[in-house]
Amino acid sequence: MAPKRKILSTMISFDVVYEDGSRSSNRRVPLMALSGLDGDMPARAIIEEQDREIALASGRPRGAIKSLTRAVVRAPARE
């Protein structure tokens, strides 16, 4: 049996809750942006920039971010 390969992801997913109570799941942020001493703090700025781009395209601005947490990664079910 061949050894399993490790999957190295280049993106980290975050769940975002906005001030108005709305939620956005699995917002992706590059892993390299989070490799410094600041932890997940750079993710907020990246997601806010994504929100600005989405607002320009859709014409509907997003509210302020209330909380930001890493999304839970679930392992695929074994058969």
20 Cβ neighbours under 8 A, 6+ residues apart: 63
Distance CA 7, CA 49 (A): 28
Cβ atoms 61, 18 nearer than 8 A? no
Q: In the 8-state DSSP scheme, what is residue 39?
A: T
Let me know if residue 3 belongs to a domain.
no
43 Cβ contact partners less than 8 Å away, ≥ 6 residues apart: 12, 14, 29, 33, 34, 68
**Sheet arrangement for strand 65-70:** 23-30, 11-18, 65-70
Residue 77 lies in a domain: no
9 vs 51, more confident:
51
Residue 54 resides in a domain: yes
pTM attached to this predicted model = 0.75
Would you say residue 19 lies in a domain?
yes
Residue 5 lies in a domain: no
Range of the domain at 53: 11-70
Does any domain span residue 79?
Answer: no
Structural domain count, the chain: 1
pLDDT tens digits for 15-47? 999 999 999 988 999 988 887 777 888 999 999
Q: Tell me, yes or no, whether 58 lies in a domain.
A: yes
- Is 6 within a domain? no
